[in-house]
Amino acid sequence: MATQTVQAPGRTPAPQGGKVGGGLLDPKQMIRSLPDALKKLNPATMWRNPVMFIVEIGAVFTTVLAIGDPSWFAWAIVVWLWLTVVFANLAEAVAEGRGKAQAATLRAAKRDTTARRLKSRASAEWDVVGAPELRQGDFVVVEAGEIIPGDGDVVEGIASVDESAITGESAPVIRESGGDRSAVTGGTKVLSDRIIVQITQKPGESFVDRMIALVEGANRQKTPNEIALNILLAALTIIFLVATATMQPLAIFAKSVNPGVPDSLALTADGVSGIVLVSLIVCLIPTTIGALLSAIGIAGMDRLVQRNVLAMSGRAVEAAGDVSTLLLDKTGTITLGNRQAGEFVPVPGVSERELAEAAQLSSLADETPEGRSIVVFAKQRYGLREREIHGAEWVQFTAQTRMSGVNLDGREVRKGAATAVMKWVRDNGGHPTDGVGDIVDGISGSGGTPLVVAERGRVLGVIHLKDVVKEGMRERFDEMRRMGIRTVMITGDNPLTAKAIADEAGVDDFLAEATPEDKLALIKREQEGGRLVAMTGDGTNDAPALAQSDVGVAMNTGTSAAKEAGNMVDLDSNPTKLIEIVEIGKQLLITRGALTTFSIANDIAKYFAIIPAMFAAVYPGLDALNIMRLASPQSAILAAVIFNALVIIALIPLALRGVRYRPSSASKLLSRNLYVYGLGGIVVPFAGIKVIDLLIQFLPGMS
């Protein structure tokens, strides 16, 4: 399909540390989602959630009973059971609503466009067709000011492309043929030059179409963990159904051996009231996690979208939470990618300041990152300020000379590769300087790049260019280690250089002089040991490794092959985001586990509320279980049902935002969550049910 031309909605980088904004519950958002929540009451939809389906059946059953034998108590129970189902649907609808809002914006911005389709790649003839008519393998020509009609790869030419419609970034990017930056997306705009694009998409399966499907959750399949948890919840529901069913014959027997006990709303000669039995079932089964499970999964996907990452499946997000090995490229991920001046090493007889002044002078016209870093380093270290120079003859760097410099006021200063500069010195009547070779070898051995600086006839010293490790990377890798994740740096550098960078960055291991085959073999070795592996890539040669890894994050700037092979796409093309993706995955798993623990734990207080209310009249000893001292059986049962519904609403913000993740060992995380959500799940309902009982005890029918 065709295109869209606005910034992708709702994609703002989130703070690090696993906590993403947007979890707070907006009342307006709840109101907007309410119609969708009511639509989900359709049994054809509800049966996919066994726990809440049982609650809906119970709500229907109690409604029928209340119509046949109306009372204030019966209708109060009916209302709150229906609210329980609606609140559960609302949690999912609110989570889905965010994605649907983004999808609506994308759909509104899509528009049909035309394409100039070439007869063949080598042909100069073309015809005009609608973008939806394009097929895989078609070649189209796109010039400045035109919209790229479909996803594809640049096979000829180079152009500046505005991708703000997809990434939200206003800065244009370069797309060119023959490299790892050849992929283009339908809906983006060519700003300059002319390119020929080979279409790689199938009709209706463009990147924009997939974005719409992903952000609105239309293709969201339940993950293996969700399926397993649903099975567990269904099993618990069946157990509680059987346990509750046994209450009826027990109640009939108890009433028969105690005929003097007057009938009550909860207990008669015919047994327990059907409304009370349904209330007991709903309060005992794990309704809290049953209501929030889908919302937790959808919100996890949404947190990735907020970071400009598209996950092609929920399975990939879960896998990110279980990753135990991270493969990270050195350049651009661990290091800045541009070597920076880090030291001036003069030869004997030359001062550091003299060397710094010559190095800066030779670099004033050097616009490369390395050249600018030399000027800045000389200024910061020695106070040498940049100055305007008139009448200078600048010598540009070339692949043949491998050096650059300046001729000024009779001085000739050069900097560059050691062999090239030394040859220049000898050609100008100079002689090799003692110690230069040792300095050059020492810098190379430490993983740096040496640039020799010379003035006609003599060598002044060597500039040590360092491949600078990004600030904070060691701390991030320390966090990974506390999480039990092993980090491996991938680089094409020689082993000596790779080891120096790995030691400085603090990674656990490195793979030097890596080829695509080496990456694939490393991933397979890790997986054979039972570990899950995550990696990033952008080139066609990365595709096999991305496909093999459990979490493959393809850069949006990369090739179509890389994006097809990975199970996530980073729209910002930031390799370090892999670390954040892992944190989001872990936060998803922790949130699901924490709320499951809370859901099961908070049922305990309901036992102490409902069981004494049902049987204390015939077994007075059970009144000792009424530790909350609830006012009456009716108020106790209704208070438990009300709390059961309200706790769902109370936990929706946590389900959407996620439990805060703190890097630590699995045992510490487990003990912390058991303490907070296990113990909290036991204590909070006791207080909540008691407060509700105090508020409703004077209502009609509560005595």
Active site residues: 329
For residues 95, 101, 103, 109, the Cα torsion angle rounded to the nearest 10 degrees is -170
CA distances to 361, 384, 413, 416, 498 from 380, in Å: 15, 7, 21, 22, 28
The rounded distance, in Å, linking the Cα atoms of 412 and 417 is 16
Nearest to 372 by CA among 389, 390, 381, 360: 360
Check whether 397 is labelled as a binding-site residue. yes
What is the per-residue DSSP string for 487-526? EEEE-SS-HHHHHHHHHHHT-SEEE-S--HHHHHHHHHHH
Q: Is 331 marked as a binding-site residue?
A: no
- Is 401 annotated as a binding-site member? yes
- Give 587-610 as a DSSP string: HHHHHHHHHHHHHHHTHHHHHHHH
Which pair of tokens denotes residue 24? 């707070």
- Cα distances from 50 to residues 46, 47, 224, 235, 646, in angstroms, run 8, 6, 17, 10, 20
Residue 183's Cβ-count burial label (10 Å; 0-12, 13-18, 19+) is: buried
Q: Is 200 helix (H, G, I), strand (E, B) or coil?
A: coil
Check whether 340 is labelled as a binding-site residue. Answer: no
Task: Give start and end residues of each alpha helix (H) in 13-170.
Answer: 27-39, 43-46, 50-68, 72-109, 164-167
Residue 221 marked in a binding site = no
C-alpha neighbours within 13 Å on the C-beta side of residue 105? 16
400 marked as binding residue:
yes
Q: Is 247 annotated as a binding residue?
A: no
Rounded Cα distance, 270 and 40, in Å: 36
What does the alpha-carbon distance between residue 486 and residue 61 come to, in Å, rounded to a whole number? 54
**Is 403 annotated as contributing to ligand binding?**
yes
Q: Is 404 annotated as a binding residue?
A: yes
CA-to-CA distance for 233 and 290, rounded, in angstroms? 7
**Residue from 606, 601, 607 nearest 681 by CA:** 601
Contact between residue 165 and residue 187 where contact means Cβ atoms under 8 Å apart: yes
For 225, phi then psi, to 5°, come to -65, -40
Tally of residues, the chain: 703
Is 555 known as a binding-site position?
A: no
Six token digits for residue 544: 């096999």
Kindly calculate the radius of gyration of the chain based on its CA atoms and give it in whole angstroms: 34
Q: Which tokens belong to 498?
A: 């790779």
Binding residue positions for ATP: 366, 370, 397-404, 415
Binding-site entries: 366, 370, 397-404, 415, 538, 542
Q: Which residues are annotated as a binding site for Mg(2+)?
A: 538, 542
